Structure 1
């Protein structure tokens, strides 16, 4: 048996990621598998469910984890660090005295408890003294019902988290209502277009991305661009000295870095750098998702023995959220990119190997295991390998995210 695991970001009112919900699956149930309570945490997480630690997959932020009846009754959460974990009580648990006692014990040990898919049914009232966060499915509960109860929960010092927030309009609606946390992919979709043309500064970055997508490559031209921009040169040196990229040599000069990296790696760096600059006013999670998708599509391309220069799988993943980063329609963005036609077709959703690689990455993000199984068979790639590649991509994305954002503080558990 191998792990079904995905993660979905939880953002605050400023659209900063403060936690991740870790979606563990046993392939059948929509919650943490019903395991024996005497299994050690290290064995469960390391061997049965994750090849990564919680800190890696959650970027050292708080992890929200679903628990169902048996795992709560057997106090399974107590095997995990209360400073890093929020215990999600799923909506299927019975509202019995036995369950209330179990939740009280968990709460007394220092854990924060979240009530998942709260439907405002009075039967949950007896749990409220132990609840810190209420998660509301915005697609299942009407706005008026939610609005009537917000003041009551705020007075009880219970945080409200809006789930399945898919548009910026929904985010603004629940943000203004008093919700503090948000889960959904609204941040990964473009807002209403307010301008037809990209600013000149961003068009220049698009040109830089052109260099990375060309089959012919000029080291001299790239060197000249970087020499005129101290910030870009500094970021190049940070990137190449990152242990996830280079474990053997310390790079001290710009030309040394260019020679060491080689054409393909330099093309990837240029693309990452341009993307980071393009999205400097957007949620960091957009860039992070792009990085993970890029690395995963590249690793999957290698696993299937594709030979591309530029690395098409990497670029497809990296550019897949350009519409959200630029607040433009994807078709308009793609038309401005002088890139390979196969990459353009994949970004526009036309079927092909690159589009399939991107679909696998999206299946992991949404925990769509049925789609993952189907794509695994179509691509003739073992599903265990896909899970391993995605985990590698998360670790790589974490490292690069830290490297290209020197102002970004070292990741610490979020206060929720």
Structure 2
């Protein structure tokens, strides 16, 4: 059940992840798959929940989930934890009065409730005593209308989510208006395009990224850079001793790491370590998204038997948000970054195998299932296999982001 799933982050005012909205391909309109009340289906859900749980997908954050009307009327699955799941309700599911009855029932079972796609119509005032969160789609309501409704919403003692926040400017506008949370990919866009040269400290990291994209590997150069930076040295040891990477041996140095990991895996690490340090003043979700894309593109490249030295699939995913991390045009950055030509071509908007892997990753992120199906056919890779790869990438990213980020926030907010 849970194998066909996508997630979209919901960030707080500090741009840390508060929760993820989960979108299910198996259900209608990306809803949680409907389960009748028979024992066989309950066991099936429990089996999938335990093998790929919502906590794995949502990185131990809260999960916002839409449910089909049958599930809402019959009762939510017992396998779901009310402390971690936010039930999203909208008037597209049930008529007003029936939905209000469901709202009361769900509230009595201990779940947090979010009113989805709130259009500011006064008819929704009946729901405000029962809901905890109101989601407002800024693309469906004008600014003046939202501003006019803010006092009434704030007086209702609910938390507010602004949806479709796709620019830094929108984030700042609605944060200043009083919204608590923000859904959209504004964090993955450059804050302001800056044309000045990168500072020396960041140029060193960019050089390390270039090393990871070369067929040869200058171990002496990399070792020298890392040895002279306490932060890099610390993150190196924390990363290579992470159970997701190494479950058997304690690694004590870069030279030890290359002996244990091998050149290709170490190239991935060097690129990842450099990117994490470039990301030090950005939202952690930006790095996390880069990690998931890197692992997914790497898995797809391996499945397609694309060359792995340098690890081009991994690198194209990892570097795909470099413009947002450094607030510069991607083409400007690529001129300064000595990376593999195929990777550079894909990142600059060219069409090749690597760009297809990146488009596929973005299709999963946005739950564009039709595009996933189309690209699966193009690559001749089974859809279930691709979903499994994306799930693996999410879990890998969840496990690694704490190791490569100096400012990893607490889970379970």
TM over 0.5: yes
* Structure 2 residue aligned with 1:117: 117
Q: What is the rounded CA distance, in whole Å, between the counterparts of 1:408 and 1:231 in structure 2?
A: 14
Q: What is the rounded CA distance, in whole Å, between the counterparts of 1:335 and 1:50 in structure 2?
A: 47
RMSD of the TM alignment (CA)? 1.9
* Structure 2 residue aligned with 1:156: 156
* Structure 2 residue aligned with 1:14: 14
How far does the alpha carbon of each residue in 1:264-319 deviate from its partner, in whole angstroms, 9 at most, with x for none?
Answer: 11111110111011110000000000000000000011111122311000000000
TM-score, scaled to structure 1: 0.94
* Structure 2 residue aligned with 1:144: 144
Q: What is the rounded CA distance, in whole Å, between the counterparts of 1:187 and 1:112 in structure 2?
A: 26
Query: After the TM superposition, which of the residue ranges 116-125 and 340-349 deviates more from structure 2?
Result: 116-125
1:50 CA displacement? 8.8
1:46 CA displacement? 4.5
Instruction: Indicate how the Cα distance of structure 1 residues 2 and 104 shifts in structure 2: closer, same or farther if over 3 A, else same.
Output: closer
1:191 CA displacement? 1.5
* Structure 2 residue aligned with 1:44: 45
How far does the alpha carbon of each residue in 1:317-344 deviate from its partner, in whole angstroms, 9 at most, with x for none?
Answer: 0000000000111111111111111101
* Structure 2 residue aligned with 1:372: 372
Q: What is the rounded CA distance, in whole Å, between the counterparts of 1:152 and 1:146 in structure 2?
A: 10
How far does the alpha carbon of each residue in 1:47-103 deviate from its partner, in whole angstroms, 9 at most, with x for none?
Answer: 3x8952111110100110012322111121554111111100133123344432222
Retained in 2: the 8 A contact 1:286–1:321? yes
TM-score, scaled to structure 2: 0.95
Retained in 2: the 8 A contact 1:34–1:71? yes
For structure 2, which runs of at least 5 residues remain unmatched after alignment? Answer: none
Q: What is the rounded CA distance, in whole Å, between the counterparts of 2:50 and 2:188 in structure 1?
A: 26
SS in 2 for 1:192: coil
Q: Which runs of 4+ in 1 moved over 6 A?
A: none
* Structure 2 residue aligned with 1:276: 276
Q: Does 1:227 align with 2:227?
A: yes
Q: What is the rounded CA distance, in whole Å, between the counterparts of 1:322 and 1:46 in structure 2?
A: 39
User: What are the residue-to-residue correspondences of 1:96-107 with 2, within 5 Å?
Assistant: 96-107=96-107
User: What are the residue-to-residue correspondences of 1:305-344 with 2, within 5 Å?
Assistant: 305-344=305-344
Retained in 1: the 8 A contact 2:68–2:93? yes
Retained in 2: the 8 A contact 1:95–1:123? no
1:117 CA displacement? 0.7
Q: Does 1:298 align with 2:304?
A: no
For structure 1, which runs of at least 5 residues remain unmatched after alignment? Answer: none
Q: What is the rounded CA distance, in whole Å, between the counterparts of 1:330 and 1:37 in structure 2?
A: 52
How far does the alpha carbon of each residue in 1:330-365 deviate from its partner, in whole angstroms, 9 at most, with x for none?
Answer: 111111111111101111221110000011100000
1:413 CA displacement? 1.3
User: What are the residue-to-residue correspondences of 1:179-328 with 2, within 5 Å?
Assistant: 179-328=179-328
Retained in 2: the 8 A contact 1:95–1:124? no
Retained in 2: the 8 A contact 1:46–1:53? no
Q: What is the rounded CA distance, in whole Å, between the counterparts of 1:107 and 1:2 in structure 2?
A: 24
Instruction: Indicate how the Cα distance of structure 1 residues 90 and 129 shifts in structure 2: closer, same or farther if over 3 A, else same.
Output: same
